[in-house]
Structure 1
Amino acid sequence: MSFREEEIVVLIDEDGAEVEFEIIEIFELKENKYAFLFPIADEDDEAVIMKIVKENEEEVLMDIEDDAEWNSVVEAWEDIIDELESEEESLELEQDSNQ
C-alpha cells in the first residue's frame, strides 16, 4: 500500500484509542518521505508528522524518534507552509489587481 494525500488513516493514540487522521501533505527530505496528518473528528487532537518507511514491500507510518531528524523535518514543513502562504498571497494580489 502506498499512502497518498487526502487519504484517511487510523492511528492508535497513547491511551490505545483509534484516531482518524487525514493525510494533508506528503513531502520528501533527504531521500526520506514524511506525511503531515491532521485529526478528523477531534479538533483538540494535534496534527502530527510521521515518517513513511517501507516494511515488507508496504509503506508504514513511523514516529520520528531522532531529535536531529525531527528538527530537520519540522523546519522543512515550516518552509513548505511559508511557500504555500506566499503563493496564496500572490494569487490574492493578482486577483485584486484584476478587479
Structure 2
Amino acid sequence: MEERENFITLVDEEGKEEEFEILMTLEVEEKEYAILLAVDADEDDEAYIFRIVNEDEEEYTLVAIEDDEEYENVVAAYEAIMDEEEGN
C-alpha cells in the first residue's frame, strides 16, 4: 500500500493497482475501520469498508470485512455520523 495524505493505492489479487480516497476512519466496537471511495468512481458507486489492523505504530493492513453483522454495524455507525453532519 502506498499512502499520500487522504489517498491510498491498493493492489488486488491480480496485481491491479487502484487509487482510493480515504473518506473517513471510525471506531466501532473497539475496532478501527476505513471508508474508501475509488478515485475514478461514478456518482452511483458505493464506498468500500475495510477493517484497519495495526501491525505496529507505523504499519497497518486493510482487511475486507467478511462477517455480515460486523459490516452492518459499521454501515450503521457511518450513516449515523453522516446524518449527524447533515443535521448541523
- TM-score by shorter chain over 0.5: yes
Structure 1 pair 52/30, CA: closer, same or farther in 2 (3 Å)? same
**How many aligned residue pairs are there?**
83
For each residue in 1:26-54, what CA deviation from the matched residue of structure 2 results, as whole angstroms up to 9, or x when unmatched? 11111111111111124275321111111
Q: Give the structure 2 partner of residue 63 of structure 1.
A: 64
What is the percentage of aligned positions where both structures have the same residue? 47
TM-score by length of 1: 0.71
- More helix per residue: 1
For structure 2, the residue ranges without an aligned partner over 5 or more in a row are none
What stretches of structure 1 of length at least 5 have no aligned partner?
Answer: 88-99
Moved more, 66-75 or 40-49: 40-49
The separation in 2 between residues aligned to 1:82 and 1:14, in whole angstroms, is 35
What is residue 52 of structure 1 aligned with on the other side?
Answer: 52
5 Å-filtered alignment, 1:1-99, equals 7-13=6-12, 16-43=15-42, 46-55=46-55, 57=56, 58-87=59-88
Partner of 1:65, secondary structure, is coil
- What's the RMSD between the two structures over aligned residues? 2.3
